[in-house]
Amino acid sequence: YASLFSKYLFSGCSVVEYGCGVAPFTNHIIENMMGQCKDMGFSLVDVDGEHLEFAKWRLKKKAPNNSFDFYSVTPESPVPNFNKNFDVSR
């Protein structure tokens, strides 16, 4: 899955997973591409709920040294103000 994007992933790159749920894309990167994930930053976006909470718990536990930013969206505000650019989006 994430291996399709492996040529775009590099140390220090910034990844956004919009509508992340339990963050399967980011989790796959963490589990299968750790060598390439060094210093990568991840932004994860979804509605508040148990799926996003599980994603927070799991990713912080598996990769405590990576940077994770979590954003909650609402119908009134469906796109967060990221104030940054991304190298890979899913």
Q: Which pLDDT score, from 0 to 100, does residue 11 have?
A: 81
What's the length of the chain?
Answer: 90
pLDDT per residue, tens digit, the chain (90 aa), is 556 777 778 888 899 999 999 999 999 888 888 776 678 899 999 999 999 999 999 999 999 888 899 999 999 999 999 988 998 887
Q: Which pLDDT score, from 0 to 100, does residue 1 have?
A: 53
pTM above 0.85, yes or no: yes
Q: Which residues contact 52 (CB under 8 A, 6 or more apart)?
A: 20, 21, 44, 46, 70, 72
Phi and psi based region of residue 39 (left: phi greater than 0; alpha: psi -120 to 50; beta: remaining):
left
Q: Which pLDDT score, from 0 to 100, does residue 3 have?
A: 62
Helix extents (H) in 1-83: 24-32, 50-62
Structure tokens at 66: 């990576």
